[in-house]
Structure 1
Amino acid sequence: MTTGHLVQECGEAIAAALDKADAVEFVYLSPVDKASALREFARLSARVDATRLRLMAVADEVTEEKGDRDVAAWCQRELLVDRSAARREMTLAGALEHRWTVLAQAHRSGEVSTAQADVIARALDDLPDETPADVVATAEKTLVEYAATFAPKELRRLGGRILDIVAPEVGEEQERKRLEGEERKARRTTSLTTRSHGDGSTTIRIRVPDATADRLLTYLHAWTNPRKHDGKSAGGDAGSAGTGAGTKVSYPTRLGHAFCALLEHLDPNKLPRHGGTATSVVVTMDYDTMISGLGVATTNTGGHISASEARRLMCTSHVIPAVLGGKSQPLDLGRGERLYKKWQRRAMDLRDGHCRAVGCDIPAAWCEAHHLIPWLKGGKTDLADGILLCSHHHHRAHDDRYLHDRLPNGDLRFHRRR
């Protein structure tokens, strides 16, 4: 029944037209008619949505009878729509009614779909408050024009960079301010915490600025992905640090091994002074433990490591060994001369070319210098006593569970103790 109210008359006319359409067998329409009808109903759908959203924007009174919080809550209860969808529509209704008149007009005419209107309105609402009014107006007009060509997904990307399109100088300045704000916040929230699990491992939880994280990952990716000169992955497993040729381990594990290797190669002489001297790690163990490789060593931070691990660290890391006699009296305090110098490493790289473990071809640049005769047992830091081993095989060389033989060509062959 017609009441004379224009909005209700519109609804009744639409309903009557749809009743007529129900009597049509769409299957008999020609392809041209079907395509034309699909386009027209898409435009009509947008126009109907636009009318409904206009009503939502001014329908606060409907909430009073039932005491609903807002129109979205009323729609959720009365129209049985999801809460998130109702709130999204209410937000869009307010944006079209109060802020974006060009977009609203395009939506009412059906030139812009509801999904497109939602994306465009959100992009415009996200513009910085200090954006000049004329730039905002140009951005709105441009995005509405783009709606004739681009779907919502593409419009979302364009909306995120609209300032770069319509006003590059403004966009660059806004980007600079945004990045500076994010960087300041990142520095305020930077933190590092550790938690020992009591099983020989510690969890390190760290939050750092993006640039720092990118830098760290660049270093770790270098450690985990050595490449041969022919471009092929070395070692059968992308040359993972801390793993052997052909060993399959997860990439997070390889990154963890790479992080350990990175720390071991830090030169304490280049770190800030601590207690008046260079920041160094001192490992203390008695003479018998040092000779046998069996037992426990103590670090100056109070931690404990196996003697074999201590001996491995002394090969290439800037670790000072403090060897004690029977009465815990210092017998020798190791010096940095036990480490191979740069020119020696270069010569060793040229000589060996890669890890000297049988079957391993990790490039020399990713290997560590190993004393064939341990330095603490009288071995010399010279080329004749040095050999290149990847991190994995260097661990094996100092692992009491493994033995190794030196072949006539100088390579090392490892095998498990029986």
Structure 2
Amino acid sequence: MSLIQSPPAPLAAAVAVSREALAGVRDMQPLYLSTGEKERLLTELAGLEAQVVELRLRTLAVAGDVAESHGSRDVAGWFAKAVHADPARVRAEERLASVVADRFTATAAALAKGGVNLEQVRVITACVDDLPDRVGVAVKQQAEADLIRLAADFGPAELRRLGRAILHVSAPEIADAEDARRLAEQERHAEEKASVRFRPVGDGTTKIHLRVADAVAGRFETYLDGWTNPRHPNQRDQHDVGNDGAGSNPDVVRLPRHRQLAEAFRRLLEHLDPSKLPDQGGDATSVVVTIGIKQLLSGMGAATTTNPLSPTGTTDISAAEARRLACTGGVIPAVLGGESEVLDLGRKQRLFSTAIRRALRLRDPVCRGEGCTIPARWCEAHHLQPWALGGVTSLGNGILLCGFHHHRIHDQVYDHDTLPDGDIRFHRRA
């Protein structure tokens, strides 16, 4: 004999009648209904579904004996197996059923009438539970009633947004004070949990794990967005761009978002003004790039840059990258002779001044890479005659290049020519 006992007759009868009625219309096609009839049928079906869900939740909340009779850990585990449902979904419904049965009788009643749907119930219970206990039971009950009323006009996403500010509707006299407390708690929590961790991987990259307050993260992303320039199609993967480097290939694909943000992070750091950073050891915070005179002149070989994460305090970079950094980054280039003597300890005056950059932007409204349309405000200043070869930092010796073309002009794989109009044309070396 089965240990499963039939539900009370009225509940069983209601389910049986509903299933029998639906079975009776199984072969009737809604295709032939009028527009108005289809509208009514869809909305009534939504209400019926809510009523069925309410009965299921109400039964799950009191069906612990079913799980016990089958030796199951909980009724959700038994039910998921019995009806071949997703256990995680059923278990979430069981938790919600207990919450609704214990504390949300008004929401349960609305669900039983088809006035709210399951997702709206999840939002209502979550928003009310988020209210601090200090507001009192009466305020929470009023918030629940107000959210049920709002559910008649708003879906789950909009209802969730309204729920975050429900006190301004349910208890406006304490809403501002509670907002202040809540935000203070959030900010205190964010400050306690904030962290920055660096972990060198060993392959030339370092993993950086950030956990910061939402406002800080938003500001950081805003700054990075300023460098990604998503409106211009020329910011593309350099491996996919044609030999002219101008982004003329119609089949090129934009860098994925995470690559764009990484590139933007690099550019943001390179454009920080070290003179505005705190002093360290009596000197301004500076990055020093050390390179031999031969490597500097030829653009071949390696250089080093200061790196506090490295056991040696330095990281190797290519000579071409060192020459590029000397154009734009707030770095100090240290040039060494054959016996490692310092031939020149460059100062930041080698960098283009604000006045020269303004003049360059007036003269070069877009990147001077042939065919490139990246506007001047996104570009970097470059010495036409490298400073390593005696080039001066002046308007006449300067040109604006976007980040992509600035990398390319220092790339030993490519050569370039200056066209009569001053644009730069790139081509692979033979």
Note if 1:321 corresponds to 2:333: yes
Say which of 177, 190, 194 aligns to 2:199: 194
Matches within 5 A, 1:284-323: 284-301=290-307, 302-323=314-335
> 2:61 touches 2:98 (CA, 8 Å); kept in 1?
yes
Q: Deviations over 1:268-296 (max 9, x none)?
A: 21111122211112222222222222222
Q: Which residue of 1 aligns with 2:415?
A: 403
User: Which residue of structure 1 aligns with residue 271 of structure 2?
Assistant: 265
Secondary structure, in 3 states, of the residue corresponding to 1:298? strand
State the one-letter code of the partner of 2:195: T
Note the 1:347-386 alignment, pairs <5 A.
347-386=359-398
CA 1:132/1:327 → structure 2, altered by over 3 Å: closer, same or farther? same
| Structure 2 counterpart SS, 1:373 | coil
The percentage of counterpart residues that share the same residue type is 47
Give the Å deviation of 1:13.
5.5
Task: Give runs of aligned pairs for residues 226-237 of structure 1, distance below 5 A.
Answer: 233-234=231-232, 236-237=233-234
1:332 matched to 2:338? The reply is: no
CA contact (8 A) 1:355 1:362 kept: yes
Structure 1, unmatched stretches of 5+, are 1-6, 227-232
Does the alignment pair 1:162 with 2:166?
yes
SS of 1:303's partner is strand
Q: Which runs of 5 or more structure 2 residues have no equivalent in the other structure?
A: 1-6, 308-313
Residues 242-261 of structure 1: pairs in structure 2 closer than 5 A: 245-246=246-247, 248-250=253-255, 251-261=257-267
Question: What root-mean-square deviation, in Å, do the aligned CA atoms of Structure 1 and Structure 2 show?
Answer: 4.1
Aligned 1:41-60 pairs, distance under 5 A: 57=61
Residues 413/132 of structure 1: CA separation in 2 closer, same or farther (3 Å cut): same
After superposition, give the CA deviation of every residue in 1:235-263 in whole Å (9 maximum; x if it has no partner): x4268999854264313323222221211
Q: Which deviates the most, 15-24 or 82-91?
A: 15-24
Separation of aligned partners in 1, 2:384 and 2:271: 20
Instruction: Give, in angstroms, the shift of residue 41 of structure 1.
Output: 8.8
1:382 Cα deviation after fit = 2.1
SS at structure 2 position matched to 1:283: strand
1:1-28 CA-partner distances (Å, limit 9, x unpaired): xxxxxx8453476478669969977969
**Compared with structure 1, are the counterparts of its residues 141 and 395 closer, same or farther at alpha carbon in structure 2 (3 Å cutoff)?**
closer
Pick from 207, 210, 217: which aligns with 1:206? 210
Give per-residue Cα distances to partners, 1:149-181, cap 9 Å, x unaligned. Answer: 556666555545433432345444444444433
Tell me what 2:282 maps to.
Answer: 276
- Per the normalisation by structure 2, the TM-score is 0.76
1:38-77 CA distance string (max 9 Å, x none):
9889878766766675565556556665555555556567
Q: Which residue of 1 aligns with 2:138?
A: 134
Residues 197 and 203, structure 1, Cα contact 8 Å, conserved in 2: no
Which runs of structure 2 are paired with 1:212-223 in the superposition (5 Å)? 212-223=216-227
In terms of mean alpha carbon deviation, does 315-324 or 121-130 score higher? Answer: 121-130
Task: Name the amino acid aligned to 1:205.
Answer: H
Q: SS of the residue aligned with 2:396?
A: helix
Range with greater deviation from structure 2 (73-82 or 118-127): 73-82
Distance (Å, rounded) in 1 between the aligned partners of 2:318 and 2:37: 82
Q: Secondary structure at the match of 2:300?
A: coil
Distance 1:363 1:22 in 2: 64
Larger Rg: 1
Q: Which residue of 2 aligns with 1:98?
A: 102
Aligned to 2:352, what secondary structure does the other structure show? coil
Shift in Å, 1:330: 1.5
Letter in 2 for 1:167: A
Q: One-letter code of the match for 1:162?
A: I
Identify if the C-alpha distance between structure 1 residues 175 and 382 changes in structure 2 by more than 3 Å, giving closer, same or farther: same
Superposed, 1:63-78 pairs within 5 Å as: 69-72=73-76, 75=79
Task: Tell me, in whole angstroms, the C-alpha distance in 2 between the residues paired with 1:378 and 1:25.
Answer: 89
* Matching residue's letter, 1:212: V
Q: Is the 8 A contact 2:123 2:156 kept in 1?
A: yes
| Contact 2:234-2:373 within 8 A present in 1 as well | no
Contact kept? 1:241, 1:261, Cα under 8 Å: no
- Between the aligned partners of 1:105 and 1:345, the Cα distance in structure 2 is 68
* 1:348–1:383 Cα contact (<8 Å) kept: yes
Quick one: distance in 2 between partners of 1:53 and 1:82? 16
The answer (yes or no) to whether the contact 2:350–2:393 under 8 Å persists in 1 is yes
- Secondary structure of the 2:134 match is coil
Other structure's SS at 2:333 match: strand
Q: Distance in 1 between matches of 2:169 and 2:418?
A: 66
Deviates more, 1:277-286 or 1:134-143: 134-143
Cα distance in 1, alignment partners of residues 361 and 41 from structure 2: 74
CA distance in 1 between counterparts of 2:23 and 2:343 reads 104
Number of residue pairs matched? 403
SS at match of 1:220: helix
| 2: CA distance, partners of 1:96 / 1:209 | 33
Contact 1:404 / 1:414 at 8 angstroms: preserved in 2?
yes
Q: Partner amino acid for 2:371?
A: G
Aligned equivalents of 1:35, 1:358: Cα separation in 2: 58
How many Å separate the matches in 2 of 1:75 and 1:180? 43
